[in-house]
């Protein structure tokens, strides 16, 4: 059987995304390789320190022939609205992480809020991607 190795997040600028994920969120670089044979395609991944789970691929929106200018514009538009998908993170202490991330300048779209499954909040990256952070209530089986 296979396993999930990475998830992709579209970004407007890979260097800006890398700085945001490492300096503000506190993740570490897992891979940063440029492949000249593929038009200087950059494979850039990050993840939580010490975590061996899936990596987040910080993927630049590719130009033609992969995507037309119109398709690129549509992806960029969805990203700016926070509607291009998202990732869900969990934490053992949402208040501490919220305070740390707020102090680091992370833009929150929702403060920590009580919900049936625990406490949940939302934040965005510089490209407009929307993410959720939750502290799951003990015993929640949802």
Dump pLDDT digits (tens) for 108-135: 999 999 999 999 999 999 999 999 999 9
Q: Are 101 and 24 in contact (CB under 8 A)?
A: yes
Q: Is 130 within the bounds of a domain? A: yes
- The three state secondary structure string of 56-89 is EEEEECCCCCCCCHHHHHHHHHHHHCCCCCEEEE
Domain range for 65 = 6-136
Dump pLDDT digits (tens) for 2-60: 999 999 999 999 999 999 999 999 999 999 999 888 888 899 999 999 999 999 999 99
Q: What is the pTM of this model?
A: 0.91
For strand 55-60 and strand 130-136, is the pairing parallel, antiparallel, or unpaired? unpaired
Q: Is 94 within the bounds of a domain? A: yes
Q: Is 142 within the bounds of a domain? A: no
Q: Is 141 within the bounds of a domain? A: no
CATH classification at residue 129: 3.10.180.10
Q: Are 119 and 110 in contact (CB under 8 A)?
A: no
Q: What is the rounded CA–CA span in Å between residue 60 and residue 8?
A: 10
């Amino acid at each position: 059987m296979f396993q999930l190795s990475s998830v992709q997040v579209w970004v407007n600028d890979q260097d800006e995304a890398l700085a945001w994920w490492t300096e503000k969120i506190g993740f570490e670089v897992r891979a940063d390789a440029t492949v000249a044979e593929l038009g200087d395609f950059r494979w850039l991944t990050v993840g939580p320190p010490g975590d061996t789970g899936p990596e987040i691929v910080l993927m630049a929106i590719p130009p033609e022939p992969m995507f037309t200018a119109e398709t690129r514009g549509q992806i960029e538009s969805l990203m700016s609205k926070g509607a291009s998908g998202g990732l869900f993170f969990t934490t053992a202490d949402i208040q501490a992480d919220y305070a740390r991330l707020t102090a680091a300048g992370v833009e929150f779209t929702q403060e920590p809020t009580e919900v049936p499954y625990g406490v949940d909040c939302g934040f965005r990256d510089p490209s407009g991607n929307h993410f959720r952070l939750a502290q799951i209530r003990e015993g929640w089986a949802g």
